[in-house]
Chain A
Amino acid sequence: MNIFHRNPSKARRLALAAAVAGSLMMPAAVMAATLNVMQSEAPRSMDPGDQTATFTAALLDPMYEGLIKRDPDLSLKPALATEWSSDPSGLVWTFKLREGVKFHDGTPFNADAVVKNFNRHLDTKRGLAASGRLRTFLESVIAVDPMTVEFKLKTQYPAFLALLSTGPCLMVSPAAEAAGTIGSQAVGTGPYKLAEYKSGEYVLQVKNTDWWGGAPKGEDEIKWTWTAEPSVMNMALQSGEVDVVNPFPSAFAAQAGANPEMKLSKTDGSAVFWVSLNTKMKPLDDVRVRQALNYATDREGIVKAFTQGFATPANSPLAPVTPGYDKSLAPYSNDVEKAKTLLAEAGYPDGFEMSTIVQEQEARIGELLQAMWAKVGVKLDVRRMESGVWSKAAFQDPAGKEADGTASAIASWSSGVNGADLQFRPLYYSASASPTGANLGFFSDEKLDGLIDKAASTLDETARNAIYVEAQKLVNEEAPHVLLFTKQDLYAASANVSGAWVIPGGLIVVKDATKE
């Protein structure tokens, strides 16, 4: 009896040993064809419509496509739609869809799929993370014929086409959506498909050989990992365990730039950093005080100390990459005397005390401002907070902020290439005052509201951008924010990687990247 038992168990042990040995050797064998990408945070969903995070969007990008895509030159190009047009009002848009496209699960892509994709965002009960922006302007989407769809907008929306290339408008398989599995099992139409999602470890993507665009240009596999630790990111690239690190921590950027085995890429970003001033609170309700704080701020100094120089000092509420941005504006130099004069005119010759709330990772900005503003007699109480706590405090209503004594908040906003409306409306429009929107200082100016609305309904781009220049001047003059800088997008890669590029704001595109 013992004999019968022993042999199979020995065989099983041998088989197990072989399997273990095989699994240990496997990675070495496929290493050459895998592009390893490391980012700073874990993906928040496998459903592009249920997340609003840049690095999640970057991870999902190889697997999903929208009706429109953004090209490396940042222009908008046809993707799952081949052509489109609008009626003269700009409220009705018709899209012709690409023939012969299939989702990774075999579901055909057609007008019905597009309608289902947008209806899930219009359904208030579905509660997807990225629905909010679409719902503000989208009325309905209907199928005109099996390969044509029509969008009806509630209001003109200049960022409409750009938005079609982003998260909520990327097409997910209607079958996977109906099955309720899309959040953990990505099913799109892109050149890569999901092979494995280990939420604690990695996301593995493999080439989609049935892709409508032909053979995908990138490596056979893309493997995504993540860590929150900047020094670990640096070491992972140095040791060769990863090929691309995005975003690359600025503290190690000079070191990586000097290393011949690495490539450091820096491009204009879209995250504008600012201090939102509580315009409902004394003495910040006085525009002269707000201007004084702007004069008291040494933007170059902050850029050097906080970003190791990898940022552009802000001269406008818009990022340099945003359409309509005016490079020629130069509102505030670092002028301590001018700041003191303005404070004296406002009745505060000896300065005053105020507070600011800041998240841990940006606390250094608060400390720098504390030292700069002290020179004009403003005593800044810097309140450091964990991000969840900060978010709660920052989105309080005026009464809540009065009770907490929150006079200002340090934060950033990134809308980048998708249009100025997405920067102006949430941050400065009076109806966006928190808690409804991100107008954290309750700024309210009828003239600015008028300009934002007028620009939104102006279809001609040149005319629209002229209005945005007016709006930039007005925001600079009224100074609801102390505008600080626009961060550059940094990523680093091994020297043998080519073909990766970044959409301003940090969304890295690696689906065409190759290793030599």
Chain B
Amino acid sequence: MKAYIAKKLLALPLILIGVSLIVFVAIRALPGDPARLMAGPEATQEAVDAMTGRLGLDRSLPEQYASFAHGAIRGDLGISIKSKLPVVDEIAERLPFTIGLAITAYILAIGIGVPAGMIAAIHRHGWPDQAVMILASAGASVANFWLALMAMNTFSVKLGWLPLLGASSWKSFILPSITLAVLPMAVIARMTRSSMIEVMSQDYIRTAYAKGVAPRSIYWSHALRNALIPIITIVGLNFGSLIGGAVVTESVFNWPGIGRLLVDAVRYRDYPVIQGVTLVAVTGVVMMNFLAEMLIALLNPKIRLD
């Protein structure tokens, strides 16, 4: 087990170096020059050149990467081209908002998705199953951008129950976290259903029934524990798409998280911010996958022993 964890942890820096290189090259391959965007359309070539020099973009690419990597190791991700604030401060200020939103969304998604999937599995082909599956299909296919606007118009503008924008109180969490939770909730409900159905047909479940264990106990302790492995895998792997969803949700709700920061940064080709946010997001995704693997190993001794 220790060797297993050590192996996974050792891979992390390699993944980060690889990803940071890809991001570094990819954003520079994007057409669009931050110096020209900063200097504005009226800028003369001389002004654009001066700006390029100031931003350090006149140096060679390896030189730029070396200085970025050197800084990043010491926790310095450079200065935002747009806001002129240190990227680390920008991210530190907003990360709690994104994490808060992600955790709330995951609690909702798991708290509703798992029981809904179980109910569907237990009442397979019955009306609860069909209801859950219709809702899950709708949830998996609706654009969360559209959903967000509809929810805002209903609950903030028309009814006036919830704040429309920003993160000023606990009430602000409600609409964005529900919007963000819909997709993973749908995926988790479907995964739980199919996983439960598979487990319920296994011999040991039949044995449990035969020896007179109460059905509720069979569902929750016998079946769910084994059904959880694929669910956790999905939850862990879906963390990346949750971050992707946060980009849209945060932009619509003016949520002060790293998703909105990233959107603004791409618009202005704010290289240091794009690099910093991606690095942090990738670290988050890798850590979540790692956590999911650890949980699975705990639940399933077979994986641990390998």
User: Which residues of A does B touch, CB under 8 Å?
Assistant: 24, 27, 42, 44-47, 50-53, 124-127, 129-133, 135-136, 183-184, 198-202, 225-229, 231-232, 235-236, 238-239, 241, 386-389, 391-393, 395, 411, 413, 426, 435-438
Q: Which residues of A contact B166 (CB under 8 A)?
A: 201-202, 225
> In the complex, which of the residues A229, A387, A389 has the most CB atoms of chain B within 10 Å of its own CB atom?
A229
B165 touches A227 (CB 8 A): yes
Which residues of the partner chain A approach B53 to less than 8 Å between Cβ atoms?
125, 127
Query: Is the beta-carbon distance between B39 and A232 smaller than 8 angstroms?
Result: no
9 more CB-based (< 8 A) A-B contacts, given A135-B46, A200-B260, A391-B36: A24-B169, A42-B82, A53-B40, A129-B38, A198-B93, A198-B256, A392-B32, A436-B45, A437-B44
Is A125's CB under 8 angstroms from B84's CB?
A: no
The chain A residue with its CB closest to the CB of B145 is A229
With A44-B268, A127-B53, A239-B160 in contact, do A132 and B46 touch (Cβ < 8 Å)? yes
Assembled-state Cα–Cα distance A127/B46 (Å): 9
Asked whether any CB of chain A lies closer than 8 Å to the CB of B168, the reply is yes
Q: Are A136 and B50 in contact, with the CB atoms below 8 A?
A: no
Cβ 8 A contact of A199, one of B32, B90, B169, B252 = B90
Q: Is the CB of B252 within 8 A of A232?
A: yes
Please indicate the chain A residues that have their CB under 8 angstroms from the CB of B267 in the complex.
387-388
Residues of A close to B264: CB separation below 8 A: 42
Question: Which residue on chain A has the smallest CB distance to residue B51?
Answer: A127
Let me know if A125 and B254 touch, CB within 8 A. Answer: no
Q: Are B165's CB and A236's CB within 8 A?
A: yes
* Inter-chain contacts of B55 with A (CB < 8 A): 127
Chain A residue contacts of B84, Cβ below 8 A: 45-47, 50, 183-184
Decide yes or no: A225 and B31 within 8 Å by CB, A132-B44, A199-B90 being known contacts: no
Cβ contacts A to B, 9 pairs, < 8 Å: A52-B43, A135-B46, A201-B166, A201-B167, A231-B149, A232-B165, A239-B164, A426-B42, A436-B44
Could you tell me if A133 and B156 are in contact, using CB atoms closer than 8 angstroms?
no
Kindly list chain A residues whose C-beta atoms are within 8 Å of the C-beta of B135.
none
Contact for A228 among B44, B90, B156, B251, CB less than 8 A: B251
Q: List the B residue with the shortest CB-CB distance to A46.
A: B84
Nearest B-chain residue to A393, judged by Cβ: B31
Which of B42, B83, B160, B260 is within 8 Å of A52, CB to CB? Answer: B42
Among candidates A46, A131, A199, residue contacting B50 with C-beta atoms closer than 8 Å: A131
Judge whether A27 and B168 touch: CB under 8 Å. yes
Inter-subunit contact B38/A388 (CB<8 Å): no
- Is A201 a contact of B254 with CB atoms below 8 Å? yes
Q: Is B269 an interface residue (CB 8 A)?
A: yes
**Chain B residue at minimal CB-CB distance from A440:** B41
Shortest distance from the beta carbon of A136 to any chain B beta carbon, whole Å: 7
**Total A-B pairs in contact (CB under 8 Å)?**
148
Distance between A430 CB and nearest chain B CB, rounded to angstroms: 15
Question: When the two chains form their complex, are residues B157 and A239 in contact, meaning their CB atoms are under 8 A apart?
Answer: yes
User: What distance in Å separates the Cβ of A332 from its nearest Cβ neighbour in chain B?
Assistant: 26
Q: Decide yes or no whether B85 CB sits under 8 A from chain A.
A: yes
Q: How far is the CA of A132 from the CA of B260 in the complex (A)?
A: 31
Contacts of B167 in A (CB 8 A): 201
Using known A-B contacts A232-B252, A235-B164, determine if residue A389 contacts B83 with beta carbons closer than 8 Å: no
B272 interface residue (CB < 8 Å to A): no
* Chain A residues within an 8 Å CB radius of B269: 388
Instruction: Give the contacting residue for B256; candidates A201, A235, A389; CB below 8 A.
Output: A201
**Does B222 lie at the interface of the complex (its beta carbon under 8 Å from any beta carbon of A)?**
no
Tell me which residues across on chain B come within 8 A of A393, comparing CB atoms.
31
From known contacts A199-B85, A201-B254, infer whether A235 and B157 are also in contact, taking CB-CB under 8 Å.
yes
Would B157 and A184 count as touching, CB distance under 8 A?
Answer: no
Number of B interface residues, CB 8 Å?
A: 54
- Complex formed: what's the CA distance from A389 to B264 in Å? 16
A52-B53 Cα distance, complex, nearest whole Å: 18
Q: Does B33 contact A (CB under 8 A)?
A: yes
B153 at the interface (CB under 8 A from A): yes
Within 8 A of A (CB), among B44-79: 44-47, 50-55
Nearest B residue to A24, CB-CB:
B169
In the bound complex, do residue A241 and residue B165 qualify as a contact, i.e. CB atoms below 8 Å apart?
A: yes
Q: Is B261 an interface residue (CB 8 A)?
A: yes
Pair B83/A199 contact, Cβ less than 8 Å: yes
Give the 7 A-B residue pairs with the shortest CB-CB distance, closest first: A388-B32, A183-B84, A52-B40, A127-B54, A132-B47, A127-B50, A200-B256
Judge if B103 is at the interface, Cβ distance under 8 Å: no
Q: With a 10 A CB-CB cut-off, give which of B32, B156, B168, B267 has the most chain A CB atoms.
A: B32
Residues of B251-271 at the interface with A, using a CB-CB cut-off of 8 Å, are 251-252, 254, 256-257, 260-261, 264, 267-269
Contact partners of A135 in chain B: CB under 8 A: 44, 46-47
B residues within 8 A CB of A50? 84
Residue-wise, chain B 151-178 has the 8 Å CB interface mask toward A (1 for contact) of 0110011001001111111000000000
Most buried by B among A45, A241, A388, A395: A388
Whole-angstrom CA separation of A198 from B80 in the bound complex: 13
Q: Which residues of A contact B160 (CB under 8 A)?
A: 239
Encoded as 1 (CB less than 8 Å from any A CB) or 0, chain B from 73 to 116 comes to 00000001011110000100110000000000000000000000
Nearest Cβ on chain A to B279's Cβ, whole angstroms? 18
- In the docked arrangement, what's the CA distance between A386 and B31, Å? 9
A132–chain B nearest beta-carbon distance, Å: 3
Q: Is B213 an interface residue (CB 8 A)?
A: no
* B80 to A, closest residue via Cβ: A199
A132, B45: Cα distance in complex, Å: 9
A235 CB to closest chain B CB, in angstroms? 5
Among A236, A389, A435, the most chain B Cβ lie within 10 Å of the Cβ of A236
Contact residues in A for B261 (Cβ distance below 8 Å): 200
List A contacts of B82 (CB < 8 A).
Answer: 42, 44-45
Tell me the smallest distance from the CB of A416 to a CB of chain B, in Å. Answer: 13
Contact partners of B80 in chain A: CB under 8 A: 199
Look across to chain B and name the residue whose beta carbon is closest to the beta carbon of A395.
B36
- What chain B residues lie within 8 Å of A239 (beta carbons)? 156-157, 160, 164
For B10, list chain A residues within 8 Å (CB).
none
**Contact partners of B260 in chain A: CB under 8 A:** 200
B26 contacts the other chain (CB 8 A) = no
Residues of the A chain whose Cβ atoms lie less than 8 Å from the Cβ of B90: 199-200
Given the known A-B contacts A132-B39, A435-B45, are A225 and B168 also in contact in the complex, defined by CB atoms under 8 Å? no
Nearest B residue (CB) for A438: B41
Distance in angstroms from B172 CB to nearest chain A CB is 11
Smallest CB–CB gap between B148 and chain A, Å?
A: 9
Q: Min CB distance, A295 to chain B, in Å?
A: 28
Chain B residues with CB under 8 A of A227: 165, 251, 254
Q: Which of B33, B157, B163 has the most CB of A within 10 A?
A: B157
Q: Select from chain A the residue with minimum beta-carbon distance to B44.
A: A132
Residues of A within 8 A of B45 (CB): 435-436
| Residue numbers in A under 8 Å from B153 (CB-CB) | 235
Cα separation A136 to B30 with both chains bound (whole Å): 31
Measured CB to CB, the nearest residue on chain B to A426 is: B42
B37 interface residue per 8 A CB criterion: yes
Q: Chain A contacts of B152 at CB under 8 A?
A: 232, 235
Contacts of A228 in B (CB 8 A): 251
